[in-house]
Structure 1
């Protein structure tokens, strides 16, 4: 046998002995399937990242305890980006190139998704169920991108509808994070107001991951809006409300689901009372739903939140599509399975098609009262 033939024989032997030899698909072996997640496990958006992580792990643990999917255990590789896009990109490259995962699941944020998506697309990697309502992930539909949650356009529409119809408000200002997240929600707010012959009354900005809100609140005090549409993280909103009260700015605060409801309530205390928050999943405490009953059984009680329920739902949809993709899952089979998903998960419906990769349009209105986010039908003074 020549040296060249010997090397070829050794290479073939190594390939056959490799646990991933049964398939050419990254992240899939005979015994496990690896999924990657990069999101905020530290910093001001950590409650969202930790929530998504705990929700996905909770459902994966349920499935693994029952033998996995087609005999494969689900493995989640998680990395922390601190809600900083540069770190998101770095960690995503590491997941794709080094860990050879099957899909990216459960990212958190608009600027972070903007950093990760080009890397995923270049690698032809699935980018699944991020916690963001940004439109660039939805329109037009992208083959490798699937969203479950309603968009920021839909959240803003619901909030503006209630603010104008229930309370008769016309002067709504925006206090926004100065990045693509802020711009995404601002676009939804502007569109919802325009439909009603209105426009944003005033706008001011804060920096991502900064708690410096004094200048922004002083700017809003000069205009005295009837409501402030806030776009940022929970500590920023708590600081803004505290400052507004200190300087005599009497206004209502409303915000979208990204705020991290439970952490905001803990951070703001009694200052949180009266704040309206749109949600894109049901209450994680609504045990009338079979979904929530299972979720509460699988997730640590200390991690019960809207964010962890969203992660749990994402994991459910992922597993369902993986089962339907067959015993030898490929990217193409998995995409086909997702595009044929039409499921009631126990009180929450998810449906995709070839032309629509957003699974839900559900938006729930909540009002903070005495330390809880209560689901309500309308806004009140």
Structure 2
């Protein structure tokens, strides 16, 4: 017996079709969004590349240790929306070529959700184009470089004040407190040095001053410092601004004092405060350092009390406090982004974040990815950088 086709009335067919579409729409709405790179049901992967070896190692290690201390606290409490935070760290030795290699590996192979806690201006110059090409957020580098701030970069966010803010504070102190007339500059001969120099020169020009003498040293190098000091001494400076890292500054001061050059030294936060004091010893006394974080010893601040507790037996330091705060800001934006974590939503939440984190206020906006412009001027006294009144 031949089967006869089943005929469904046209009106009924339309009803069935619309009902099917409606049910399918509800299912799609209920289903989770497509997973973002670096995000699974259990884990959010984050990437960090900075110096864990070489002449800037203690800065990078401080940033990492501070970030890890806060992330441990969050993971122990259950993570963010049920996900643990996994930090993948790589060592670039403060060399841009290695920074670029590790950044590509973290993005293309490890598939991280975001990058944060990089250290340095030349290293950031190597990493940012790679991050932007892959649309991966680049968060809170340990650098005050202007290219990270202007023009606005959609995926780049800065926690610390700019070098222009720091040099403005140093220039003011040079004029008003030290009454320096002949200012010398000893600078790292790369994009970091040039960035800080441009800010210093602009600030001095605003006070009808300029540089009397300048000498340069190579990044990561200790040789060449003595002849640079000899060059500076010929210009008879009554104050010297230094742009470089802690081992270099310690050797520069030792060389200056050996050559009977008694001018005070001033430097920006990138120097690495605690490692500089450790390496310079008694010669660190009287050095002025601009800071972009509150004192890691100021337990009047809730932020610092939490930081010291979470760091355990590790000694406090400016770099680790910055890493700790950077992780805290990142976690706050992740929390606000909700369980369906997507980079666009994360960036939107970060762009509108305004919060006091217990003594340090972070304030981002859609047209400003600069959280703070606050600078704290300190002077080394009895083995510790103490804030000036």
TM-score (norm 2): 0.91
Quote how far apart the aligned CAs of 1:167 are: 2.0
- Indicate which of 180, 199, 202 corresponds to 2:210: 199
- Indicate which of 275, 280, 300 corresponds to 1:288: 300
Quote how far apart the aligned CAs of 1:303 are: 4.3
Q: How does 1:334-349 map to 2 (within 5 A)?
A: 334-349=346-361
Query: 1:25 touches 1:102 (CA, 8 Å); kept in 2?
Result: yes
SS in 1 for 2:212: coil
Quote how far apart the aligned CAs of 1:301 are: 3.0
Could you say which residue in structure 1 is the equivalent of 2:385? 373
Quote how far apart the aligned CAs of 1:22 are: 6.4
1:65 partnered with 2:85: no
d(CA) in 2 for partners of 1:314 and 1:277? Answer: 21
d(CA) in 2 for partners of 1:355 and 1:201? Answer: 38
Cα shift readout 1:318-367 (whole Å, capped 9, x = no counterpart): 00000111111111100110111000000000000001001011100110
Larger radius of gyration: 2
Could you say which residue in structure 2 is the equivalent of 1:26? 37
Could you say which residue in structure 2 is the equivalent of 1:305? 317
SS in 2 for 1:302: coil
- Runs (5+) with no aligned partner, structure 1: 1-20
Could you say which residue in structure 2 is the equivalent of 1:111? 122
Query: 1:26 touches 1:102 (CA, 8 Å); kept in 2?
Result: yes
Q: How does 1:22-61 map to 2 (within 5 A)?
A: 23-61=34-72
How many pairs align?
A: 357
Q: How does 1:174-213 map to 2 (within 5 A)?
A: 174-212=185-223, 213=225
Once superposed, which parts of structure 1, at least 4 consecutive aligned residues long, lie more than 6 Å away?
none
1:89 partnered with 2:78: no
Query: 1:238 touches 1:264 (CA, 8 Å); kept in 2?
Result: yes
- Indicate which of 332, 340, 345 corresponds to 2:344: 332
Query: 1:179 touches 1:208 (CA, 8 Å); kept in 2?
Result: yes
1:125 partnered with 2:136: yes
Could you say which residue in structure 2 is the equivalent of 1:164? 175
Could you say which residue in structure 1 is the equivalent of 2:160? 149
d(CA) in 2 for partners of 1:237 and 1:364? Answer: 20
d(CA) in 1 for partners of 2:325 and 2:259? Answer: 42
- Indicate which of 48, 69, 74 corresponds to 2:85: 74
Cα shift readout 1:59-88 (whole Å, capped 9, x = no counterpart): 001111110000000000000000000000
d(CA) in 1 for partners of 2:346 and 2:184? Answer: 43
SS in 2 for 1:201: strand
Could you say which residue in structure 1 is the equivalent of 2:249? 237
Query: 1:160 touches 1:189 (CA, 8 Å); kept in 2?
Result: yes
Quote how far apart the aligned CAs of 1:172 are: 1.2
